[in-house]
């Protein structure tokens, strides 16, 4: 007999969701990783350039694990707890962390960087990326795609209109990059399996990523959570699909 609904939800409702570490979900939820290995890809590039910028670095974990960093390495981040975490992680590696509100302009001069990277940026200011890149410089990033984990979103708030489902479509980013004067040289898209093994994992995820179901609280969605708990108990993990795309764009 598994743990009770009340137990699982109470635990997930009480745990802190600060920061951007999803370790609490280990053994309770899983997400397939994109085949291209983003961290490995940027690591291979970092050692070959003189100056690089990582936008919306989060806590700096991805950049810190990329391997050799260039002589000039800068990262930006807007959320104060993450700025502190990234500073602690990246300063010993020779990278400078700049607190930036994630709105234009980027606080750097024109033609400043050979490489700009970003993993799962909330917003992408293409004109600013083009401005700070040197001629022949590259933007290499992994973006969240359209309708990511929408099976879970729509379970709670119902079918979403097409204009919402197609937000973050890679074709739109290709067009925006091109309009900013960049040449898109690589664009790869994958749909990846996500499994939630218990209702605690679902509760924690919806608290951690609040834009998925913007009005989510345990009390507000208690009946829906209970129904999903019963379905998971009867049928096994709830399956959804995340979408990710790799985009590489070069400045002429």
Domains of the chain are 1-31+198-236 (no CATH), 33-147+163-192+240-251 (3.40.50.150)
**According to DSSP H, which parts of 15-149 are helical?**
38-46, 61-64, 80-90, 126-132
3-state secondary structure of 169: coil
Average pLDDT of each block of 10 consecutive residues along the chain (252 residues)? 92 88 94 97 97 96 95 96 94 98 97 98 96 98 98 98 96 98 98 98 96 97 98 98 98 96
Q: Give pLDDT tens digits for 7-52.
A: 999 999 999 987 678 999 999 999 999 999 999 999 999 999 999 9
CA atoms of 75 and 51, how far apart (whole Å): 11
Q: What is the pLDDT of residue 98?
A: 98
Q: What is the pLDDT of residue 2?
A: 82
Q: How many residues does the chain have?
A: 252
């Amino acid at each position: 007999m598994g743990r009770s609904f009340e137990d699982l939800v109470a635990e997930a409702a009480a745990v802190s969701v600060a920061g951007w570490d999803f370790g609490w979900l280990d053994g309770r939820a899983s997400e397939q990783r994109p085949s291209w290995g983003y961290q490995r890809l940027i690591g291979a590039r970092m050692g070959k350039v003189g100056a690089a910028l990582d936008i919306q670095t989060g806590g700096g974990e991805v950049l810190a694990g990329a391997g050799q960093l260039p002589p000039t390495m800068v990262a930006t981040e807007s959320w104060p707890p993450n700025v502190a975490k990234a500073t602690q992680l990246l300063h010993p590696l020779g990278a400078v962390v700049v607190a930036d509100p994630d709105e234009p302009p980027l606080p750097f001069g024109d033609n400043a960087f050979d490489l700009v990277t970003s993993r799962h940026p909330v917003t992408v200011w293409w004109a600013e990326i083009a401005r700070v890149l040197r001629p022949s410089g590259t933007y290499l990033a992994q973006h969240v795609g359209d309708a990511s984990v929408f099976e879970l979103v729509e379970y709670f708030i119902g079918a979403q209109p097409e204009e919402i489902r197609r937000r973050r479509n890679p074709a739109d980013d290709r067009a925006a990059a091109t309009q900013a004067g960049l040449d898109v040289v690589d664009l790869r898209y994958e749909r990846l399996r996500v499994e939630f093994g218990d209702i605690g994992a679902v509760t924690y995820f919806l608290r951690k990523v609040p834009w998925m179901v913007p009005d989510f609280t345990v009390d507000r969605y208690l009946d829906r959570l209970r129904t999903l708990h019963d379905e998971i108990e009867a049928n096994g993990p709830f399956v959804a699909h995340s979408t990710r795309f790799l985009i590489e764009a070069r400045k002429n």
